[in-house]
Chains A and B, each alone.
Chain A
């Protein structure tokens, strides 16, 4: 074999080795990338949580109710207790509010003497229907999806981004 034939053969063999390495790299690499990032991008399925009986709820008096929120974190299912604010409106319907202030994420409370919701962190005040009366909160209180079944209130506990003018689900 002369020099240039040898050179050509060496290049071909080099190409073969490279192709095999490349093929193995892709067959292993692509699944590995999917394996690493796809589960992280998955969104949880929303679940209805039973909050309790609301038949005795009076209009104009917000009630703090416990919501057992279960989170499936990969292979681990954890339950945490969240409390939410539940209000019976004058029309008789029920509104459930996220307990998180829309300003920067603190927990707010009901001031019965002032008939307002008040956040102690930066003093945002909200009315019974959630609108901002005063303070830095950029939007009204976030309502949670809710429904009544057999006199019991069911909500989907959802978290929203704090500090934005529009309601954005996390």
Chain B
């Protein structure tokens, strides 16, 4: 049956040359599992595109509706949580895949002449992938999204001369808001996908023209030459299958997170970037004051300059890793640094005290009961009743609970209504009040 369909199409499209071009690529040294990472990266890009498109059916890129539209996807749309999960974990998977792909190319010296162009296009693809990660992160418009983007954009602001203008352009205005969200949405779903698709096609075209580098051992490379199909295709398919099973399982068992809606006035929130930016976030913690610019400008520029110029920095024909000690040490050093920073960062993030759930509930109750209609906390609310900013210093638990139960019994002139709170609500609200200290 498949044969008949193929023959029908072949008669009308002359598929022979296409088939040869796509599948007959000779791999020096033969197929290998080490070459699968490029295909895995491409697969995840396609997965992101597909899941992303479908997420856009329900997502609304406005500051008023972004969060609630994602809640809708998670709670009410059939398979919504799964599709969003695939997109969330797929993003991480793509970062891992592209990292491994770069590592493999780096190790094999496959960036050397005549593959410099292939490498350059690859570095640009890497930059675009990072841009995808950064722009997509803002879209849920939750606390994590808002504050992480705020920090990221402020880092751009530290650049000398052009920093402020650049920040205005990225942000779309004077503050992080509606203009930023639509800008990032357009970038993430329209500009970047077209750019990436175009460059992926170019990347694959160049690869096909120049051919894969194959093993660093010239003897081994010459010994065998296998076409892409079927062995490498199958290895790629199996690797993709395994990667997909992992991501699919995560999507089912660990739903994508959604923190509270973005609240620009709540600066107690500790923003944490996505894990693939964590090492950099940690590095910046060590560079304060004058040294900050080393982290926000100098090091990133040096890093990407190194990447772009690598084929010319490492010009010798030699591709064996052990015969390229400088480059290999630089690479190894970089990996050690990144992983060390990442582990420190993970430990630190894990040790941030989580908000006591009771305090969290108490805070929500305060908002639900509209206490700010009479009370003020740090300038927010009305001034008809006592200011509660430091109430935790002034009153103790016993007083607070008695007062909630019957305000007039404790303060005869009080206008505060009795809310009829149950034991847990009294406890939660009191716990929240007790955190309001100097």
Chain A residues near B (Cβ < 8 Å):
10, 13-14, 16-17, 20-21, 23-24, 27-28, 31-32, 34-36, 38-39, 74-76
Contact = CB atoms under 8 A, between A and B. Distances in A.
Contacts of A76: 65, 68
B237 interface: yes
- List the 6 closest A-B pairs by CB distance, nearest first: A75-B72, A31-B79, A13-B230, A38-B78, A17-B237, A13-B234
Interface of B: 47, 50-51, 54, 57-58, 60, 65, 68-69, 71-72, 76-80, 82-83, 86, 229-231, 233-234, 237-238, 240-241, 244, 248
B72 A32 contact: no
A20 B47 CA distance: 15
Given A17-B233, A20-B237, A39-B78, A32 B50 contact: yes
Contacts of A31: 78-79, 82-83
B65 A35 contact: no
Most buried by B among A21, A23, A39, A75: A75
Contacts of B60: 75
B77 A39 contact: yes
Given A14-B230, A20-B240, A31-B82, 4 more contacts: A28-B86, A31-B78, A39-B76, A39-B77
A17 to B, nearest CB: 4
B58 A75 contact: yes
Contacts of A20: 237-238, 240-241
Contacts of A74: 58, 69, 72
A32 B51 CA distance: 8
Contacts of A23: 241
Contact of B50 (A14, A28, A39, A75): A28
B65 A24 contact: no
A32 B79 contact: yes
A16 B234 contact: yes
6 contacts: A14-B234, A17-B237, A28-B86, A34-B79, A35-B79, A39-B58
A31 B57 CA distance: 14
Nearest to A75: B72
B339 to A, nearest CB: 31
A8 to B, nearest CB: 11
B48 to A, nearest CB: 12
Contacts of B65: 75-76
A1 to B, nearest CB: 13
Residue among A23, A27, A32, A35 with max Cβ neighbours from chain B (10 Å): A35
Nearest to A39: B77
A36 B55 CA distance: 9
Nearest to A74: B72
Nearest to B230: A13
Contacts of A17: 230, 233-234, 237
A75 B76 CA distance: 9
